[in-house]
Structure 1
Amino acid sequence: MDKLPPLNAMRTFEVAARAGSFTLAATELGVSSAAVSQQIRNLEDWFGKQLFVRNGNRIALTDAGHAIYPQTARALGEIAAVGRRMLEGGLRTRLVVSVPFSLAELWLAPRLALLLDGFPQMAIDVRVEDDPVDVVRQNIDLRVSYGDYHYPALKMVRLVHDDVLPIASPEFWRRHGNEDFDLSNVHESQFIHTNWGPNYASHPSWADWFAAAGGNRAPDPSHGRRVGLSSLAIGGARLGLGVALGQRIMAGADLEAGRLIALSSVSVRLGQPYCAFMLPAKAERADVAGLVALLGTSPGKAHNGLPENKTAPSE
């Protein structure tokens, strides 16, 4: 067997690199800051490379540190997974899935129901939380995120690159719409706007949609209805609160059932794809692989609910 680096020092390095601080690493490991510094020095001596640049209480990875961190994190995560499996007697009793708030109800839950058809006795733990999460420490089997850049040390699978299109309830459109499905005539107050929050800058707005449709209208969010989640925008449209830019993967079931109608065939792609992240050792598990496959299934071409003699205009 090839000579191994000191494993305690490798674990200390992973925690310090992730925490960005020897002090925080010491707290997590239950040792002193001096002990953390000594372990890092031992590892640097073993490699013959400096792994951190130290500036007072602040640390930053050197080029050498960046080079070994992803593989170190993966390897330690896989070792931890082996330990958990052995302690559980080789039986996995729970699937732990972590998702952003908007995806939980309208996208994840229906696919979990399909997964349970094949694994009827499975216990599932759904955690709804924003990035970043500590996949290893929180024993998360699968993390779904918007964007492919959050967890470079983990295995990543691109699931779907979603788009948005204008949707409304049939009753709302009968009362407030028009036969030509012309959104340029919709009153400012009847647009539902999604506030994606300060961490996101690549989600399309109504101004983006009108530009894609060949217009130049930019409905003012202060004059309309505003919500903080894309799932709430779809729910508001379903309840007749107005016209929303609905994400296709979330609105698909309502469109197929006729609870919502698509008012145009013009859509705008989101700035980033949705991606699944997991430890490589977990990617081969049947339950994890099955859920990844279900999440990566593109939604069918949803029935748009328009009258038979109408087609969604392409603008």
Structure 2
Amino acid sequence: MERLPPLNAIKAFEVAARTGNFTLAATELGVSSAAVSQQIRNLETWFGKQLFVRSGNRVALTDAGHAIYPQTARALGDIAAIGRRMLEGGLRTRLVVSEPFSLAELWLAPRLAVLLDAFPQMAIDVRVEDDPVDLMRQNIDLRISYGDYHYPGLRMVRLIHDDVLPVCAPDFWQRYGNDASSLADVHESLFIHTNWGPNYASHPTWADWFSASGGSRAPDPSHGRRVGLSSLAIVSARLGLGIALGQRAMAHGDLEAGRLIAPSSVSLRLGHPYCAFMPASKAERADVAGLVALLGAIPGKVHSGFPSGIAEKQT
């Protein structure tokens, strides 16, 4: 057998490179910061290369560190996957997907249905949770997030950059819009406002929409209907509870089926794209790559079958 580098040092290197911090690496590994530093020194001695540039508590990979990180992460991920499969009693792969609450029902579920239609025996675990999550510790294959800034150490693929537009039920518009009125005539109480929460400041509001459409109206959220999820805003609009600024990707199915209509074509782009994050060791797996391709597909193409080449990758 070829000479191997010290495996404990390789593990310490992978965690330190992923977290960018020896203290965080020590916490994850259950050892002291000094022990992590010693393992890194051992590995640097073994390779004869400096792997990190140290700046206080933070560390950054050198060129040599960047050169070996992808392979070490992939190798450790493969070893961990073997262990999980054996403990589960077989070699069957389980796809673990983590996503925000707002994407679960209206956006991810239809795409998972396409994936499972092609591979009905695939085991999938869907976890709904807020950022940040620890993909390595929680054994997550794929994390979907709003924005491209949450997980700098992981492989990232930009999926879609969504926009919002007014949506409501046909009966609602016939009743309150009278099929001829503009949105400027809709009563203040009938607007659905999405409360994105304290962590988000880049989502457009009704005031932004009216400004973009050439108006000056600014509906007061305290006088209308407020919901805490973008998906709930769409469901509320579908049920005739008001008119919402709905995300196009989430409302697509309802718009296609006629359950929702868009009284105006004016739309506003969200502040950030939705992105997929995955450990480098899992990015080339057929099920992971296949789902990423589906998530980035044009909404109208989702139900017409797999994007080209996905089925052929599955083994």
With the length of structure 2 as denominator, give the TM-score of the two structures.
0.83
1:51 aligns with 2:19: no
- Give the 3-state SS of the residue equivalent to 1:282 in structure 2: coil
Cα 1:283–1:26 change in 2 (3 A) is: closer
More displaced stretch, 33-42 vs 249-258: 33-42
Give the gaps of 5 or more residues in structure 2.
Answer: 302-315
Q: In the alignment, which residue of structure 2 is the partner of 1:156?
A: 156
Which residue identity lines up with residue 252 of structure 1 in the other structure? H
Note if 1:273 corresponds to 2:273. yes
Q: Which amino acid aligns with 1:240?
A: G
Question: In 2 relative to 1, CA 72–49 (structure 1 residues): closer, same or farther, beyond 3 Å?
Answer: closer
Q: CA deviation at 1:149?
A: 2.3
1:111-150 to 2 correspondences below 5 Å: 111-150=111-150
Cα deviation 1:63-108 (Å, max 9, x = unaligned): x547677666644431233114434368333110111110011000
Is the contact made by 1:167 and 1:262 (CA closer than 8 Å) also made in structure 2?
yes
* Aligned twin of 2:82: 86
Contact 1:71–1:153 (8 Å) recurs in 2:
no
Which one-letter code corresponds to 1:31 in the other structure? V
CA distance in 2: counterparts of 1:7 and 1:175, whole angstroms: 69
Taking the TM superposition and a 5 Å limit, the aligned residue runs for 1:113-262 are 113-262=113-262
Q: Quick one: distance in 2 between partners of 1:65 and 1:37?
A: 14
Native 8 Å contact 1:141 1:279 kept in 2: yes
**Deviation of residue 21 (structure 1)?**
5.7
- Give yes or no for the alignment of 1:102 onto 2:98: no
Structure 1 position 10, deviation (Å): 4.2
CA distance in 2 between partners of 1:153 and 1:18 (Å): 5
Runs of 5+ consecutive residues of structure 1 not aligned to the other structure: 302-315
Deviates more, 1:176-185 or 1:31-40: 31-40
1:255 CA displacement: 1.2
Which piece of structure 1 moves more, 115-124 or 140-149? 140-149
The equivalent residue for 2:296 is: 296
Letter in 2 for 1:299: P
SS in structure 1 at match of 2:293: helix
CA distance in 2, matches of 1:200, 1:288: 28
Pick the aligned partner of 1:60 from 58, 76, 82: 58
TM-score, normalised via structure 1 length: 0.83
Q: Is the 8 A contact 1:70 1:153 kept in 2?
A: no
Moved more, 272-281 or 233-242: 272-281
Query: Aligned ranges for residues 281-292 of structure 1 at < 5 Å?
Result: 281-292=281-292
| 3-state SS, counterpart of residue 101 of structure 2 | coil
* TM superposition shift of 1:35: 2.0
Q: In the alignment, residue 58 of structure 2 is paired with which amino acid?
A: A
Distance in 2, matches of 1:200 and 1:281, equals: 31
- Inter-CA distance 192–118: structure 2 relative to 1 (3 Å threshold): same
Amino acid at match of 2:141: D
User: Number of residue pairs matched?
Assistant: 295
CA RMSD of aligned residues (A): 2.8
The residue type equivalent to 2:54 in the other structure is F
Identity of aligned residues (%): 71
| Distance in 2 between residues matched to 1:77 and 1:144, nearest whole Å | 20
SS of the equivalent of 2:173 reads: helix
In 2, distance between residues paired with 1:82 and 1:190? 53
How far residue 23 of structure 1 moved from its aligned partner, in angstroms, is: 4.9
Task: State the one-letter code of the partner of 1:81.
Answer: G
Residues in 2 aligned to 1:3 and 1:216: alpha-carbon distance in whole angstroms: 71
SS in 1 for 2:193: strand
CA contact (8 A) 2:193 2:244 kept: yes
Any idea what the Cα deviations from partners look like across 1:11-64, whole Å, max 9, x if unmatched?
A: 32443465566555334323334323433444566534763333xxxx122xx5
Contact 2:22–2:58, Cα closer than 8 Å, also in 1: no
State how far apart, in whole Å, the 1-side matches of 2:181 and 2:299 are. 24
Question: Could you say if the C-alpha distance between residues 60 and 81 of structure 1 is closer, same or farther in structure 2, counting changes exceeding 3 Å?
Answer: closer
CA distance in 2, matches of 1:84, 1:34: 25
For the Cα contact (< 8 Å) 2:188–2:219, is it kept in 1?
A: yes
